[in-house]
Amino acid sequence: MRKKVVRRKTTVVRKPRKKAGGFSKKLVNFSLISLVFLLFFGLVYHYRDGLAYYFSFKSDKVLSDSAEEKRISDVRNFQVLEKKGAKAVGLDVSEYQGEVDWSEVDSLENKYPIDFVFVRATVGNDRLDRKFKENWLGAKKQKLIRGAYHYYRPNENSLEQAELFIKTVSLQKGDLPPVLDIEKLPENQSIERLKLGLKRWLKAVEAHYKVKPIIYTGERYYDDFLKEEFSDYLFWIANYNFYREKMDEDWLFWQFTEKASVSGIKGNVDVNIYNGDLQQLEFITLE
């Protein structure tokens, strides 16, 4: 009888393979981490004055635990205001600011005088800003250079909108030219029809006040739709980007923040810089 031969299976122990490119991956990770740190410390260095102000290391402001007074947006606001030079600073307000104590509205951070204010007057073809009269008179009483603006609704008749603004706003000597605020794109019409409506509003308002209106819009909107075709108008541009710290030469006004705090106004308020000093600002007012 034959004996069964039992063959034992031999287990082959394989050595773990070294991962290909392990060193390269570590190098890439190290480089990325280093880059992040460099960018972080670069930003900290660039905004060192603003950060110092933010943490009250270099501010004569009374320290406060209020989160409202200590916002990261303050860093950029401080940086922009420090770099503005002699350029005039102003606000724009509407019913959203509620009751404004105009007797308290005189400066930003007790350092940067407020020279002008834009007040929203009308919206579309049928609505008045609920605080227009109060704000319009309050700004005058505070001896601020004032201007009125109309919030344009693309899907409503442009001439009716112009008529509402004209009926509501009586400009006087020393006031700024009227402003057309355009921010939205039309829903039921083409861009060409929108531009036609804007031109009709501008021409009607110019004919009444005998001065060319100013156009307010966002930088992207300006670049995409208005810059070329409305090049004979002066622009007030909104741009809140953290990296932008100065205005372009072809901007008349720059709205650089919507999150500033000002004495006499509860909550946030928009702040603007005029591309010139106070004397130059007075030069563009109505005679």
For residues 262 and 272, the answer to whether their CB atoms sit within 8 Å is no
How many CB atoms are located within 10 Å of the residue 240 CB? 15
Q: Kindly tell me if the per-residue pLDDT of 60 is higher than 80.
A: no
pLDDT, tens digit, 9 for 90 and up, residues 160-180: 999 999 999 999 999 999 999
Q: Which of 5-9, 154-158, 226-230, 246-250 comes out lowest in average pLDDT?
A: 5-9
How many CB atoms are located within 10 Å of the residue 162 CB? 27
Extended strands (E) in 164-282: 179-181, 214-218, 234-238, 253-260, 269-274
3 state SS of 65: coil
Q: Kindly tell me if the per-residue pLDDT of 218 is higher than 80.
A: yes
Helices (H), the chain: 22-46, 48-54, 73-83, 132-141, 158-168, 191-209, 219-221, 278-283
pLDDT tier for residue 50 given thresholds of 50, 70 and 90: very low
Say if residue 158 is exposed, middle or buried (CB neighbours under 10 Å; 0-12, 13-18, 19+): buried
- What does the DSSP 8-state code read for residue 74? H
CATH of domain 87-283: 3.20.20.80
Q: Kindly tell me if the per-residue pLDDT of 268 is higher than 80.
A: yes
Q: When comparing pLDDT for 31 and 245, which is higher?
A: 245
Look at residue 68 in the predicted model and tell me its pLDDT. Answer: 45
Q: So where are the chain's domains?
A: 47-83, 87-283
Q: Kindly tell me if the per-residue pLDDT of 46 is higher than 50.
A: no
